Amino acid sequence: MDLVILSLSLELDFTRHDQLIYGNTMTDNNETSGAKDNTELTLEERKAARHKERQQRVKETVDAKIAAAQEEKGILLVLTGNGKGKSTSGFGTIARAVGHGQKAAVVQFIKGNWACGERTLLEGAGVDFHVMGTGFTWETQDREKDTQAAEQAWEAAEALLKDESVDCLMLDELTYMVSYHYLDVERVIEALKNRPKMQHVIVTGRACHRAIIELADTVSEVQPIKHAFDSGVKAQPGFDY
């Protein structure tokens, strides 16, 4: 997926470059109706030649990046930002791991024990889930209870972060536990640093601590443009949870 995005980005760059060089030859406006030399390329042929040249440059750039990327290691992925879809994206990566026959696990912080479509599906595929179970902090309104629940969930996470048999681990909404000081960030960083070399970890949640971002290999920020909930549309099963 990342290579597809890179290829499209490069193609757009090269398209803008060609438009600057060739100007109006990218359109039909300069075609004349008179007879032309048989050796002269038609407009469509010139477009096809430019497209082939542009795609060849894209291919060379992508191939060079693939050739340069030879290291194999477990990836720490952070999905943060105020937009919708961070956990959904993380679950998609867990599903991908399962599809490749890998062992995956999920620790869910913040969220409670209500129905979760991803959990129902993935547990049926053998994914181990550990759920903090207290729900959102504005529901409990009990800092001591939340801290104790966070500690229990993190102990499960620490065990999984030491388990070499776990190929991919999702720490859903972990960022809140650090932001609210339920968990010490140094303790979290230490566990992430010392995990098995080939173990992939996905951290989701808003306002990710800068220390986790600095440690991460890949960071994606989801930004909100519009959200149906802000217009009074209720959360719906199968789409929102």
Indicate the burial class of 154 (C-beta count within 10 angstroms; 0-12, 13-18, 19 or more). Answer: buried
Q: How far from 172 is each of 79, 154, 168, 213, CA to CA, in Å?
A: 10, 11, 13, 15
| Tokens encoding 123 | 């547990």
Residue 113: predicted pLDDT: 65
Q: Which residues of 70-96 are buried (b: 16+ CB within 10 A; e: fewer)?
A: eeeebebbbbbbeeeebbbebbebbbe
Q: Which residue has the higher pLDDT, 230 or 175?
A: 175
Q: Radius of gyration over alpha carbons of the chain, in Å?
A: 25
pLDDT at 36: 47
pLDDT in tens, 117-157: 999 999 999 999 999 866 555 455 678 888 898 999 999 99
More confident residue, 39 or 228: 228
Percent of the chain scored above 70 by pLDDT? 78
Give the span between the Cα atoms of 134 and 150, in whole angstroms: 9
Q: 108: helix, coil or strand? A: strand
For residue 9, pLDDT over 70 is answered with: no
Q: DSSP alpha helices (H): ranges in the chain?
A: 2-22, 43-68, 86-99, 117-124, 137-140, 143-160, 174-179, 185-193, 210-215
As given in the structure block, the two tokens for residue 59 are 């291919």
Confidence grade of residue 22 (pLDDT, cut at 50, 70, 90) = very low
> Which domains are assigned to the chain?
2-68 (no CATH), 76-231 (3.40.50.300)
SS3 content of the chain, % helix, strand, coil (to 5): 50, 10, 40
pLDDT confidence of residue 144? 86
Element (H, E) at 205: none
Strands 76-80 and 104-108: unpaired
pTM score, two decimals?
A: 0.77
Mean pLDDT taken over the chain: 85
Residue-wise pLDDT tens digits, 203-227: 999 999 999 999 999 999 999 999 9
